[in-house]
A and B are shown apart, each in its own frame.
Chain A
Amino acid sequence: MAGKKPEKAPGAYAPGQKIKVSVDPLTRIEGHLKVEVEVSNGVVVDARCTGPMFRGFENILIDRDPRDASQLVQRICGVCPTAHATASVRALDDAFNVKVNTNGRIMRNLIFGANYLQSHILHFYHLAALDYVNGPDVAPFVPRYENNDIRVDAATNAVGVDQYLKALEIRRICHEMVALFGGRMPHVQGLVVGGTTEIPEVDKIVGFKWRFKRVIDFIENEYLPLVYALGGVYPDLLETGEGCKNMISFGVFPEDDDESTFLLKPGVYTNGQDAPLDTDKILEYVKYSWFDDSTTGLHPSEGKTVPDPYKEGAYSFIKAPRYNDLPHESGPLARMWITNPELSPAAKAAGFNRMRDFGDKAFSILGRHIARAEEALIVAKAVEKWLGEVKPGEETYVHSEVPSQGEGMGLTEAPRGSLLHYIKIDDHYIENYQVIAATIWNASPRDDQGLRGPMEEALIGVPVPDPSSPVNVGRIVRAFDP
């Protein structure tokens, strides 16, 4: 087999001894990440997540035409550009004071929804799955550690690899669905302030529908069953990686033009209590981030981005956003926990009718994968419904002029978590633009009070029996889809 022994022999733990294990780069994520954990007696006792890359989109956006924002911000993330486009056009709608019409709203949901399916499938198979099954014995699936804790039998492994390869095609088809209405992927042209740029015609609706059938079939019959099969093989991973247990969702996929209901609802769950979302309670801290200390504790509407890569004591280019001064996890688990929708027939057959029926098992490595897979099916079913509601040949765009002054906030949920864009316009140009991206919530470093970010917190207590092969560190981090 293609397993490879690490050059350094796994160090045995002396009782009570603490050792540092650094995983840098933490691969199979979107972008750059380093994770450093402190291990004692075989379990993680402390953790630090480092976002080691800074581009400065917020600075680059200043003094530009506000309409350019929805194109530029998509380049924050090549896996979920439609999420940034959605948050941006929602901020622009707000600032331009324009109301999207019904067909425009539905088309936005379809463009974004199709990419949700793409993102969840790509994440599970092409980023996470190699933590549970071994790939073929060729690069990039090798090298891998011998001691990588893959426990599936040969038949299940083969199914996993087959699905990995098939999922490459399915996710490509999802991108074709996005492009049918959005122009191209990654980075769509179709999402603009006031709606979308292309009126749906029957040929493209039909092209979308037939592609969709293959995607939902894959989710129902392959993706979901495999995720549940992993739960049988790795039951301990339903008990590992609890995290802060505070959840936040901004809500996504408006179901009516007044946005009184969303497919996945806005809300917060803090210290075991549900509460409505109040965006005034969001502040960003930078004590442990490579940003100027004078910019700490600001609401995004007052937000500033002043990097200081030499700052002592800091360890990340990610700021630390907090809700009501507490870390909150965002992403599929948070949305599914807050919305608590009915689950798939497979889950119901096992006695789990709704997400909260999983109880504490939801707050785990595999709980997050289950939430994501179940959410993929819910979004897929909604996509099917919206496709039936589209009116061929009917307008999707409402024109508006760039205002001389304006301010707007755009909230949505990226596949990987809560996404906020804020824009301030002065004299027709962008005066300030702030982004709190999904992974900023989850991969954030400590805040000014010293509270760990959600991913850091979820690492505490995770078993690392072999410090030279910290398999579970990769598993927990990837379960967040950073």
Chain B
Amino acid sequence: MSLTRRDFVKICGGTVAGLGISQMVHPGLLMAMEKEAQKAPVIWIQGQGCTGCSVSLLNAVHPSIKEVLLKIISLEYHPTVMAAKGELAMEHLFEVADKYEGKFFLAIEGSVPKAADGKYCYVGEKDGKHITMLEMTKMLGQKCAATLSLGTCSAYGGIPAAWGNLTDAVPVTQIYQENGIEKPVINVPGCPPHPDWMVGTIAHVLLYGIPELDNHLRPKLFFGSNIHDNCPYRGYYDQGVMSKTFTEKKACRYEIGCKAPHVNADCWKRRWNNGVNWCVENAVCIGCVEPGFPDSMSPFYEIV
């Protein structure tokens, strides 16, 4: 089954209309794209991560994760959800990568450690030999159609690559660059990324091709607006009304460390977890979608 127009409109919610993309939904074009959507095998691998990106994907609402799994993508390999394990899982991975060479999408969660020949992260074994995340990334990177770097670790290194790390953790783009892999990469950062950002990016790729990206390879659709400039508490900032403590809500959070002025993402209108709340309403933004996270955003509770 394929993605319906209704699904797609729901995926991107107000954002699509906001950027005028809804005008692109032409019935003829859409039907052509739906056929393509039927054949979108996804291989999802995990390096140095916490599985939080996968768990966040489970929080998708429109479409629900059930619809994503059963109707939109064919999730051929995913360590956290797949039925198979061990040898059967690895055999399937290699089989799919060969069968759909140049056609499958590679989703990567977590950073890739380079130190000690990649020994800081093994992802499985084949024919009795350990395979490191470094080897797996290079192997699948060469074979995929395009790569989605999901989450800040995969996109920019994130916490595993922060100051003090011993594993030489790097983002996927660096591995590709150093090994001459020229496949397109889309970064969908966030610690974790919002489910709409992940599903919406996948939908965009399937329906319209690669979305317009910013300098950090993020879709402008989701990462094109500054949080502080659009924040519902911006009026307080302009009047100089500042929170002195976390629970003081009728004020701007800048002086208790909110990093929103340095952060581009649409959390301010998308909100989180089916729209029930978001970081700035609850406390502060710690800038988890930005390339420098966490070092450039630290200390989280001081003005930087």
CA distance A185 to B278 in the complex (A): 9
A79 to B51, CA, bound (A): 7
User: Looking at A6, A52, A122, A135, which has the most chain B CB atoms within 10 Å of its CB?
Assistant: A52
Of the 9-residue stretches A296-304, A342-350, A357-365, A391-399, which lies at the interface with chain B?
A: A391-399
Chain B: CB-nearest residue to A31: B51
Please name all residues of chain B whose beta carbon is closer than 8 Å to the beta carbon of A258 when the two chains form the complex: none
Q: Please, which residues of chain A bring their CB within 8 A of the CB of B88?
A: 4, 6, 143-145
B-side contacts of A197, CB under 8 Å: 246-247, 282-283
Interface of B is mostly: loop
B246 near A192: Cβ-Cβ < 8 Å? yes
**B137 close to chain A: CB less than 8 A:** no
Residue A53, interface by CB 8 Å: yes
Q: Which residues of chain B are near A180, meaning CB under 8 Å?
A: 273, 276-277
Residue B78 interfacial (CB < 8 Å): yes
Q: A136 an interface residue at 8 Å Cβ cutoff?
A: yes
B104-135 contacts to A, CB under 8 A, are 113, 116, 119-125, 128, 130
> Do A30 and B86 have beta carbons less than 8 Å apart?
no
> Are A179 and B277 CB-contacts (below 8 A) given A65-B301, A189-B284?
yes
The residues in A between 27 and 72 inclusive whose CB is less than 8 angstroms from any CB of B are 27-32, 34, 50, 52-57, 59-65, 67-68, 71-72
Of B209-217, B222-230, B292-300, the one with at least 4 CB within 8 A of chain A: B292-300
B51 touches A30 (CB 8 A): yes
Q: Closest Cβ of chain A: how far from B275's Cβ, in Å?
A: 9
Chain B 158-173, CB-CB to A under 8 Å as 1, else 0, gives 1110111111010000
Residue of A nearest to B80 (CB): A28
Contact of B81 among A28, A181, A198 (CB under 8 A): A28
> With A and B bound together, what is the CA distance between A172 and B68 in angstroms?
14
Q: Please state if B247 and A59 are interface contacts (CB–CB under 8 Å).
A: no
* Interface residue? B101 (CB, 8 A): no
Name which residue of chain A comes closest to B47, CB basis: A53
On whether the beta carbons of B282 and A189 are closer than 8 Å, the reply is yes
A26 to B123, CA, bound (A): 10
Residue of A at shortest CB range from B128? Answer: A22
Given A55-B167, A172-B61: A64 and B298 interface contact (C-beta under 8 Å): yes
Check A179–B272 contact: CB distance below 8 A.
yes
Does B77 sit within 8 A of A, measured CB to CB?
yes
Q: Within 8 Å of chain B (Cβ to Cβ): is A139?
A: yes
Indicate if the CB atoms of B121 and A32 lie closer than 8 Å: yes
| Interface status of B179 (Cβ within 8 A of chain A) | no
Given contacts A27-B82, A60-B164, A310-B119, contact A140 B77 (CB under 8 A): yes
Cβ of A56: which chain B residues have Cβ within 8 Å of it?
160, 164-167
Query: What separation, in Å, do the CA atoms of A136 and B82 have in the docked complex?
Result: 12
Q: Determine how close the nearest CB of chain B comes to the CB of A374; give it in whole angstroms.
A: 24
B192: chain A residues within 8 A (beta carbon): 78, 186-187
Which residues of chain A are near B283, meaning CB under 8 Å? 183, 189-190, 192, 197-198
0/1 string, B165-200, CB within 8 A of A gives 1: 111010000000000000000000001100000000
Interface: A387 (CB within 8 A):
no
Q: Is A276 located at the chain interface by the 8 A CB criterion?
A: no
Give Cα A30–Cα B79 distance, bound, in whole angstroms.
9
Shortest A215–chain B CB gap in Å is: 14
Is there contact, CB below 8 Å, between B80 and A27? yes
Chain B interface size band reads 35 or more
Of chain A, the residue at the smallest CB distance from B119 is A309
Q: Which residues of A contact B65 (CB under 8 A)?
A: 168, 172
Contact of B86 with A470 in the complex, beta carbons under 8 Å: yes
Distance A57 CA – B128 CA, assembled complex (angstroms): 30
Q: Would you list which residues of chain B between 25 and 76 have a CB under 8 Å from chain A?
A: 41, 46-56, 58-59, 61, 64-66, 69-70, 74-76
Decide: A25 near B124, CB < 8 A? Known: A32-B46, A184-B273, A399-B245.
yes
Please tell me if B5 contacts chain A, counting CB pairs below 8 Å.
no
A184 with B272: CB separation less than 8 A: yes
A165 within 8 A of B: yes
CA distance A471 to B302 in the complex (A): 51
Residues of B within 8 A of A (CB): 41, 46-56, 58-59, 61, 64-66, 69-70, 74-92, 113, 116, 119-125, 128, 130, 158-160, 162-167, 169, 191-192, 245-247, 249, 272-274, 276-279, 281-284, 286, 288, 294, 298-302
Given pairs A28-B79, A59-B164, A59-B165, 14 additional interface contacts (CB within 8 A) = A24-B90, A28-B81, A32-B123, A55-B167, A56-B167, A61-B164, A68-B298, A140-B75, A140-B77, A141-B83, A168-B65, A183-B272, A185-B272, A198-B281
Kindly list the 8 A-B residue pairs having the minimum CB-CB distance in the complex, ordered from nearest. Answer: A78-B52, A183-B282, A65-B299, A179-B273, A184-B272, A52-B122, A189-B283, A197-B246
Interfacial residues, chain A to chain B (CB-CB below 8 A): 4, 6-7, 22-32, 34, 50, 52-57, 59-65, 67-68, 71-72, 75-79, 81, 122, 126-127, 130, 135-136, 138-145, 165, 168-169, 171-172, 175-176, 178-190, 192, 197-199, 204, 207, 307, 309-310, 317, 395-397, 399, 468, 470, 474
User: What are 5 A-B contacts defined by CB distance under 8 Å?
Assistant: A27-B84, A63-B163, A172-B61, A192-B283, A198-B281
